[in-house]
């Protein structure tokens, strides 16, 4: 459902802010199976614990592009996780090609109309796709991040007319629910990052080095849909498969802003992917 005002159902919108109730804790006592092990054993394709969701041609089970990413950004109190993740995703793809830039999520926020007028949550990606393919993002220094709604772009990028460079995408591919197939995502993430939407709970705010597995118990209340940047994948020595992500709640969350989410192949029989939506940016 597309958000244009506060009467829109909030359950269908994407975005969880990092302000207000979202205060980060120093650590978490909850550990996933195998997450606290100090073992350094390296798996091989002949091992029983070798990930079954990897393509048969793969000889490596760990992939990460974290080293080419900037430090995790703090999105602030508004629900702008989607804008931060999009800007970081485009940056990463450009960096993989040797082009190092810092792009402006605020420029995207300023030019997208179909979002909740009070929270900044979004429901559809059509307008975002149109803007990114036709106009693109300017540099962060041209349109600095404020984390505010209804902000007017500086004159240097007003109405998307600027002497400053803008970086476009060629396409945006959005998939939901049963369209999300993790075996396909592995092949995409092997080439570069993409965006994923997860249904998070209160326990997500406490993540540190453990692998996030969703709701921990009945008291673990839902917090809404949240966009993260999927930066890689891996498997623990004990055979627990996970996705590597960068969040947008600053470096105080997870491990310097990065975390791990369990893959479908390690969730148990008949359990779905933790990703309810994915957004692939073709740069």
Q: How many CA atoms lie within 13 A of 35 on its CB side?
A: 20
């692998």: which residue's tokens?
211
Is 50 exceeded by the pLDDT of residue 164? yes
pTM: 0.87
Residue 43: its H or E element:
none
Q: What is the mean pLDDT of residues 16-41?
A: 42
Identify the weakest region by mean pLDDT among 20-29, 143-152, 237-246: 20-29
Domain spans in the chain, listed from the N-terminal domain onward:
32-282
Q: How many CA atoms lie within 13 A of 101 on its CB side?
A: 22
In the prediction, which pLDDT does 137 show? 96
State the fold for domain 32-282: Cathepsin B; Chain A (3.90.70)
How many Cα atoms sit within 13 Å of 239 on the Cβ side? 13
Give me the residue label for tokens 């073709």.
282
pLDDT at 33 over 60: no
For residue range 116-151, list pLDDT tens digits in order. Answer: 989 999 989 999 999 999 999 999 999 999 999 978
| Per-residue buried b or exposed e for 48-78, using 16+ beta carbons within 10 Å of the residue's own CB | ebebebbeeeeeebebebbebbbebbbbbeb
**Cβ–Cβ < 8 Å for 153, 139:** no
């Amino acid at each position: 459902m597309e958000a244009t005002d506060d009467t829109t159902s909030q359950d269908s919108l994407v975005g969880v802010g990092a302000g207000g109730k979202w205060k980060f804790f120093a650590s978490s006592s909850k550990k996933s199976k195998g997450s606290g092990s100090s073992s350094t054993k390296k798996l091989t394709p002949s091992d029983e614990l070798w990930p079954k969701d990897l393509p048969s041609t793969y000889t490596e089970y760990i992939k990460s592009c974290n080293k080419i990413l900037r430090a995790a950004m703090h999105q602030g109190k508004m629900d702008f996780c989607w804008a931060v993740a999009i800007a970081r995703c485009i940056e990463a793809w450009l960096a993989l090609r040797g082009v190092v830039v810092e792009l402006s999520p605020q420029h995207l926020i300023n030019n997208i109309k179909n979002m909740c007028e009070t929270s900044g949550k979004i429901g559809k990606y059509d307008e975002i796709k149109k803007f990114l393919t036709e106009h693109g993002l300017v540099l962060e220094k041209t349109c600095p991040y404020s984390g505010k709604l209804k902000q007017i772009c500086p004159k240097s990028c007003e109405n998307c007319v600027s002497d400053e460079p803008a970086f476009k995408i060629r396409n945006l591919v959005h998939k939901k629910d049963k369209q999300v197939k993790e075996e396909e995502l592995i092949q995409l993430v092997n080439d570069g990052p993409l965006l994923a939407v997860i249904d998070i709970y209160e326990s997500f705010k406490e993540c540190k080095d453990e692998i996030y597995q969703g709701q921990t118990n009945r008291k673990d209340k839902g917090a809404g849909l949240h966009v993260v940047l999927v930066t890689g994948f891996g498997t623990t020595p004990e055979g627990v498969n996970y996705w590597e992500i960068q969040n947008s709640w600053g470096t105080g969350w997870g491990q310097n802003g990065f975390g791990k989410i369990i893959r479908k192949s390690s969730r148990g029989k008949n359990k779905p992917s933790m990703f309810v939506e994915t957004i692939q940016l073709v740069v």
